[in-house]
Amino acid sequence: MFQTFYSYFWWERLWLPANLTWADLEDRDGRVYAKASDLYITLPLAFLFLIVRHLFETYVATPLAGLLNVKEKIRLKATPNAVLERFYAATSKHPKQAEVELLSRRSGCSVRQVERWFRRRRNQDRPSLLKKFREASWRFTFYLLAFIAGMAVIVDKPWFYDLREVWKGYPIQSMLPSQYWYYIIELSFYWSLLFSIASDVKRKDFKEQIIHHVATIILISFSWFANYIRAGTLIMALHDSSDYLLESAKMFNYAGWRNTCNNIFIVFAAVFIVTRLVILPFWIMHCTVVYPLDLYPPFFGYYFFNFMMVVLQSLHIFWAYLIIRMAQKFITGKARGHLGVVEDERSDREETDNSEEEEEAVKNGPLSNGHPVLNNNHRKTD
């Protein structure tokens, strides 16, 4: 049964154009081609990435957070209460009004005390500022180095300037050592992100992040199997071009460097929109959808690869919507608290014990200082 599945899975018509077989991609005459077995090493390397990440966050990111004066918010702990804790763990972290009233009677607390308890309890489960800073520092470091390495791999290649060169001679295209390592490192890193996603900071787009990581792993792996190496290196470098900007903006945000954070965010938004909503669909996807048809009839791999590209592009549109919302609030001033920082649309806002008072003030008129208090981070002068 396994042998039958193996034979169907590696059937040439799924991966290669008509009249080509795996024998055509065997190493010969000094030419080296991508092999599926090469990717086995990415799984142990992914765990190595997790070890390196732990060491980096402990011995680099944590001292850096101290130098940048990253300060934790003071979080009041919820008073131990067995009735409320049981409901919190088993039923809901956000009880409805009727449930709050029922819990009030069962626990002997007032409605206001129950609401305050749940706010404090939710805040206890939120990741610390240091955890967020360490995670952003790790991703910033990798994305920046990956972008530099990716540009070094492709900037001197003819297909970087002429996308028709991507398919010249396909699929009989020899793989370079730089392409091999670029692929192996990128795929290992995304495996590590998938393995650690349960323990990483959870945002509102948690499900979209999982879809993104899985789609990216599938795309990188498939492009390797089908020898879409040239297209793959272009796509990976394009994605890395904006990611390190976002992570650096987060780092400065957590450190309280508001003006720096806002300025980097503006640059990130521009780069993201240009690369993900203009270059990727109108250049790269045009290259993968239109140009191959000049060389061979469409086959399953052609449709599958471009379908996964559409999945990624859909996620880009979703994130671009959030980015544009943030940019719009930034321009109008609505995204600024009393410290003037753009809030991440994907993040849950820290809840405070005076949330209800703020809500009443907003209903009855503006607050005394004109702004609701969004956070109490220490401010640092750039």
Residue 110 sits in the same domain as residue 135: no
Residue 283 sits in the same domain as residue 156: yes
Residue 101 sits in the same domain as residue 187: no
Query: Lowest-pLDDT range, 113-122, 321-330, 345-354, 368-377?
Result: 368-377
The pLDDT-based confidence of 32 (bands split at 50, 70, 90) is confident
On the question of pLDDT at 272 being above 90, the answer is yes
Residue 92 sits in the same domain as residue 208: no
Give the H/E segment covering residue 243: helix 229-255
Domain that holds residue 141: 31-68+128-332
Measure the CA–CA gap between 168 and 85, rounded to whole angstroms: 64
Residue 246 sits in the same domain as residue 324: yes
Query: Lowest-pLDDT range, 13-22, 46-55, 103-112, 133-142?
Result: 13-22
On the question of pLDDT at 368 being above 60, the answer is no
Residue among 263, 276, 3 nearest 11 (CA): 3
Say which DSSP state 70 is in.
Answer: -
Residue 185 sits in the same domain as residue 310: yes
Residue 178 one-letter amino acid: S
On the question of pLDDT at 364 being above 70, the answer is no
Residue 163 sits in the same domain as residue 272: yes
The pLDDT-based confidence of 355 (bands split at 50, 70, 90) is very low
Residue 350, domain member (yes or no): no
Residue 260, domain member (yes or no): yes
Alpha carbon distances (Å) from 230 to 104, 160, 165, 166, 235? 63, 9, 9, 6, 9
Residue 149, domain member (yes or no): yes
Per cent of the chain over pLDDT 90 is: 44
Q: How many domains does the chain have?
A: 2
In tens, the pLDDT along 163-177 reads 999 999 888 888 999
Q: Helix, strand or coil for residue 263?
A: helix
**Phi and psi torsions of 313, nearest 5°:** -65, -35
Residue 219 sits in the same domain as residue 102: no
CATH number, domain of 117, equals 1.10.10.60
Q: Helix, strand or coil for residue 28?
A: strand
On the question of pLDDT at 132 being above 50, the answer is yes
Residue 161, domain member (yes or no): yes
Residue 258, domain member (yes or no): yes
Across the chain, what does the average pLDDT equal? 83
Measure the CA–CA gap between 244 and 241, rounded to whole angstroms: 7
Residue 357, domain member (yes or no): no
Residue 217 sits in the same domain as residue 107: no
pTM across the whole model: 0.78
pLDDT at position 346 is 52
DSSP for 333-344 reads TTT--TT--PPP
Residue 328, domain member (yes or no): yes
Residue 181, domain member (yes or no): yes
Residue 218 sits in the same domain as residue 116: no
**Phi and psi torsions of 28, nearest 5°:** -165, 155
Residue among 217, 208, 233, 229 nearest 314 (CA): 208
pLDDT at position 354 is 53
On the question of pLDDT at 205 being above 50, the answer is yes
Residue 213 sits in the same domain as residue 86: no
Residue 192 sits in the same domain as residue 55: yes
Alpha carbon distances (Å) from 150 to 47, 186, 232, 241, 291? 22, 10, 11, 9, 23
The segment with the largest mean pLDDT, out of 48-52, 101-105, 238-242, is: 48-52
pLDDT at position 122 is 83
